[in-house]
Structure 1
């Protein structure tokens, strides 16, 4: 059984579209658990009226991604009756194909114990890859996307079944129940919104779980820049400065300091390099905006 945990906060139409795509899956051994943490757009009412088979849990808007996901995972642990059960974390802005769960399971069964993430493409451009794995340097605070990100999705989907990755996001990751029993829940104290998913995958890796990305298990994303794929997108300095302290931002310096302390062997140097990369990236975005690429 796969327990699909989806935290939601507004964006009712995205949630409806996501659930509809899940109900079209070829495999039926799954249960959808939605955690609505404070929506005011009628999301819960829509789920009750249109999707009675969905387990709907409620929370307030202080939960953020990590707290809401932990509520869903806790419910999955209660409902689970087998050590072979799985949890799939999924965001509500994603749409999947009818063979999505099958493709995740195929890679999982061939490589367990493992966590299996999804290849992400853009909803309005299915050939453009958003995420297909990432390499992470624990000393230099450098995140580098898998080179296939620069290729068209159709050019790789039939060439390789899965790709290794150093970290996994919560945007379509299949996790064995055993991993939560060994590692615990997501760390909502240190990472209330961003980085909890990557941190959890890293903790699992230390326990001996392989981290993989299924190429054929594809999610189509409505949201363009999230988490480790965050871009500055021509922010003003005032807007950029706010990202350094906002809980909604992947740039949040407090979160990045806690990540360095928990996960890097040289945390203070790592944090310094991380901060320099953030400011360097913003500076380059300003130059791109003003001069294009001509300054290189």
Structure 2
């Protein structure tokens, strides 16, 4: 059995579109576990009518992505059978037909422990997927393009991650230190340290638009004060989360360096 784990908040149309696309991407029934952060747009009610066994975890509005996915993973760790498969997804992904079946086939044929599905935007440009570390000493990354040859990543975006329950139990849950982002990159780097192999998809698994920098803390057109406020917001690059990520995965000196650079960028308008 496949367990689809997600977290939601007031994106009913996107969430249901995601579930409907999974029905076309995967040839068998599946179980949905959703950690919902108090949606009031009918998301929970619509999920219950999706035609699949669905478990709604009612959470508060402070969980954000990392907290929501932790809740869903914790539930699956207790209730899923040892032989079951786990699919971590973002609810704004629209999967391509047969793509999850293909990803499962690649996972089993390669003998890898997990498989990450590459995402593209509506123009066919890659937005998410497997990630390669460009440096052993600094937090610099690049996306890995999907190719037919078996390609393994150093970490990943969790828009689509397929693994066995056994793999999830070996890797553990996402780090509770993160509020919204960075938990997936951290999880992938932990899996690599544990010797778990994560293979990249051979083609795009679904469509998911990338995050727009306009209006974010990286928007050079905003005033410095506004950029700083956005940076420290849960969906920005909070100082504590970012410092924890770099120190944990690279060490103290890189953590100090990377903690300072966002403020320098804001100060000089870059």
Quick check: TM above 0.5? yes
TM-score using structure 1 length: 0.80
How many residues matched? 266
* 1:193 maps to which of 165, 168, 180: 180
Q: Offset at 1:161?
A: 4.6
Gaps of at least 5 residues in structure 2 are: none
What are the residue-to-residue correspondences of 1:203-242 with 2, within 5 Å?
A: 203-225=190-212, 232-236=218-222, 237-242=224-229
SS of 1:34's partner is: strand
Q: 2:101 is matched with which residue?
A: 102
Indicate yes or no: 2:130 matched with 1:133.
yes
Q: 2:24 is matched with which residue?
A: 24
Take 2:221 and 2:104, find their aligned partners in 1: how far apart are those partners? 40
* 8 Å CA contact 1:7, 1:92 repeated in 2: yes
Indicate yes or no: 2:237 matched with 1:246.
no
Query: Runs ≥4 in structure 1, deviation > 4 angstroms?
Result: 279-284
Q: 1:152 is matched with which residue?
A: none
Q: 2:81 is matched with which residue?
A: 81
Take 1:43 and 1:32, find their aligned partners in 2: how far apart are those partners? 13
Take 2:189 and 2:152, find their aligned partners in 1: how far apart are those partners? 13
TM-score using structure 2 length: 0.87
Indicate yes or no: 2:154 matched with 1:170.
no
* 8 Å CA contact 2:67, 2:179 repeated in 1: yes
CA RMSD, Structure 1 to Structure 2 (Å)? 2.5
Take 2:89 and 2:235, find their aligned partners in 1: how far apart are those partners? 18
* 8 Å CA contact 2:155, 2:188 repeated in 1: yes
Q: Offset at 1:26?
A: 4.3
Q: Offset at 1:52?
A: 5.5
Take 1:173 and 1:35, find their aligned partners in 2: how far apart are those partners? 17
